[in-house]
């Protein structure tokens, strides 16, 4: 319990600090918010009378168009094949899952009103909300859930998020129109949480698939539908007239355009050309906060920025070389230079703002230790390393420039190869790099931190990391439900991962949004989800 109280206190202190200097940010209020303990086995998760909390309240005003500027282009809108979080930030408003994390990151029923688990822990039975319609007017049934999840876990689909639902031999069965059962080959204790993490496991109408088997515009049950799509330069979300939550969404329409350049995007906001921007350059936050015509809202971010090291290439297949890189860097300086101090240094994937934080931190900067490790690995004269940031995220370029100087002091000669986003993704996915810089987004549960990106052989494991003991632990961690029991398991997994150093973790950033004062009802979430259905315009 002492550990629990310590984590709670740390979390609350962080929230208070942010609240003192931020706009109307929202964040988890306690560790239980993200602990996401599932309902007890064989018991219903939510009684029917408790199954309609959802939004609460009502829109003070309806109608109007929100003009939103994103930092990034979306990389496809098929929820089963995209791996881009910019895509999911759109899909959040189009697709819905059977479970959902509310603005306090509490797991609540959504398209499912309740669920229960079998005695052997392998089968989950979920009871669907009746009367929910897709945006094309057709009612959603258990057949749609079965189709969506079977497509997601089909190896032919090639989804990196398939494990959200289960392995390929997971059996999904329709019990009746409003009941579906899911049987896993092994117990999956956090299944209700896993299907609520993001919209990869959201329910999509089969009518979304075109004659070529592709999904360009997904049809969901969400508050908005995509009515116009111009490549990756413009997208229009229009109110779903069939939406099941009476009175929502508040807006008629949202026009989304990507404006990658920070200055251009912020100038458009200040000039009134757009109403809301997804991202603010950290160096401009203080200036914007002084502008009475702009609201800057922040929340602690649960994602992490990191260096991914290619374990399929020498000399980076030697753990001593990777540890040397980890010892060579000054994370506080990286935080200051990369994100202007609006971040918290970390040495593992979880930060002090997460209930899954572990204080194992062996890599305080030690240049001599780094040199010693390189010499032991057979490189007394140092090594060469190509750093691959992306111009899509300028903070990765800034971090690379600082890393270049820090690594040089330890005998590591780094060159920088900053790539445009699509080329960067291609090289990352095909192991055509020495070390890349990026972030891992949208995190709530330990499974999201440790499983998809680190388990042997999974699609999102872009470094080629493989450790059988680590795999065993994270498999066990997702099989059970109890938070304290899981915490002990992931504490072991975290130590193995940090010691093996396939990734060098740098910092947790803050989540920052900015908008005009007449934009009301928006909440900045630590999991980076942009949910627009409660947004309304006071003008």
The 10s digit of each residue's pLDDT in 296-314 is: 999 887 889 999 999 999 9
The two most distant CA atoms of the chain are separated, in Å, by 69
Domains of the chain from N-terminus onward = 59-93+222-294+516-538 (3.40.190.10), 95-212 (3.90.76.10), 303-510 (3.10.105.10)
pLDDT in the model for residue 75: 80
- The chain-wide mean pLDDT, for the chain, equals 87
- C-alpha torsion 80→28→59→228, nearest 10: -20
Contact, 350 vs 342, CB < 8 A? no
User: Higher-confidence residue: 266 or 6?
Assistant: 266
Return d(Cα 534, Cα 57) in angstroms, integer: 10
pLDDT band at 148 (very low <50, low <70, confident <90, very high): very high
CA distance from start to end of the chain: 50
pTM across the whole model: 0.80
pLDDT in the model for residue 321: 98
- C-alpha torsion 346→348→352→356, nearest 10: 170
- C-alpha torsion 476→487→339→426, nearest 10: 0
CA distances from 178 to 113, 122, 142, 213, 236 (A): 10, 20, 5, 27, 31
**Bridge partner residues of 439 (DSSP):** 305
Q: Out of 37-46, 382-391, 415-424, pick the least confident.
A: 37-46
In three-state secondary structure terms, 26 is coil
Asked if pLDDT for residue 29 goes beyond 80, the answer is no
Pairing of strands 435-440, 383-388: parallel
pLDDT in the model for residue 519: 97
Pairing of strands 65-70, 276-277: parallel
User: How far, in whole angstroms, is CA 170 from its chain's centroid?
Assistant: 24
H/E segment holding residue 468 = helix 468-479
pLDDT in the model for residue 56: 57
Contact, 181 vs 127, CB < 8 A? no
């Amino acid at each position: 319990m002492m550990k629990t109280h310590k984590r709670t206190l740390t979390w609350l202190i962080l929230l208070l600090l942010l609240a003192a200097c931020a706009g109307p940010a929202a964040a988890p209020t306690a560790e239980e918010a993200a602990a996401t303990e599932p309902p007890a086995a064989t018991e219903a998760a939510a009684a029917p009378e408790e199954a309609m909390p959802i939004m609460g309240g009502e829109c003070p005003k309806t109608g109007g168009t929100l003009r939103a500027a994103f930092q990034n282009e979306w990389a496809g809108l098929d929820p089963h094949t995209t791996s881009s979080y910019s895509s999911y930030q759109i899909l959040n408003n189009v697709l819905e899952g059977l479970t959902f994390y509310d603005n306090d990151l509490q797991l609540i029923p959504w398209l499912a009103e309740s669920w229960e688990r079998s005695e052997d822990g392998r089968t989950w039975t979920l009871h669907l909300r009746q009367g929910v319609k897709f945006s094309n007017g057709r009612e959603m049934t258990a057949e749609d859930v079965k189709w969506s999840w079977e497509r997601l876990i089909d190896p032919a689909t090639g989804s990196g998020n398939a494990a959200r639902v289960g392995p390929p031999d997971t059996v999904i069965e329709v019990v009746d129109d409003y009941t579906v059962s899911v049987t896993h080959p092994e117990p999956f204790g956090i299944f209700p949480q896993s299907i609520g993490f993001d919209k990869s496991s959201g329910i999509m109408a089969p009518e979304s698939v075109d004659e070529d088997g592709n999904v360009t515009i997904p049809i969901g049950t969400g508050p908005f539908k995509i009515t116009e799509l111009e490549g990756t330069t413009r997208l229009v979300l229009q109110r779903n007239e069939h939406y099941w939550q009476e009175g929502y969404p508040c807006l008629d329409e949202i026009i989304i355009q990507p404006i990658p350049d920070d200055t251009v995007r912020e100038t458009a906001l200040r000039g009134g050309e757009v109403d809301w921007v997804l991202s603010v350059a950290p160096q401009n936050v203080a200036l914007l906060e002084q502008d009475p015509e702009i609201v800057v809202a922040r929340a602690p971010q649960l994602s992490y920025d990191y260096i991914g090291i290619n374990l399929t290439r020498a000399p980076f297949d030697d753990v001593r070389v990777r540890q040397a890189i980890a010892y060579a860097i000054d994370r506080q300086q990286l935080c200051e230079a990369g994100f202007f101090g609006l971040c918290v240094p970390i040495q593992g994937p979880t930060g002090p703002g997460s209930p899954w934080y572990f204080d194992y931190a062996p890599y305080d900067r030690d240049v001599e230790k780094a040199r010693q490790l390189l010499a032991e690995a057979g490189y007394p004269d140092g090594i060469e390393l190509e750093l691959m940031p992306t111009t899509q995220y300028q903070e990765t370029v800034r971090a690379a420039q600082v890393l270049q100087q820090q690594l040089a002091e330890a005998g590591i000669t780094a060159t920088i190869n900053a790539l445009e986003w699509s080329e960067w993704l291609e090289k990352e996915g095909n192991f055509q790099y020495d070390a890349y810089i990026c972030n891992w987004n949208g995190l709530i549960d330990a499974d999201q931190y440790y499983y998809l990106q680190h388990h042997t052989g999974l699609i999102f494991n872009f470094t080629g990391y493989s450790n059988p003991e680590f795999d065993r632990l994270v498999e066990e961690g997702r099989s059970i439900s109890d938070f304290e029991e899981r915490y002990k398991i992931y504490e072991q997994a975290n130590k193995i991962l940090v010691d093996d150093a396939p990734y060098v973790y740098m910092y947790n950033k803050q989540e920052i949004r900015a908008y005009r004062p007449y934009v009301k009802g928006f909440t900045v979430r630590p999991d980076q989800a942009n949910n627009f259905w409660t947004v309304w315009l006071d003008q």
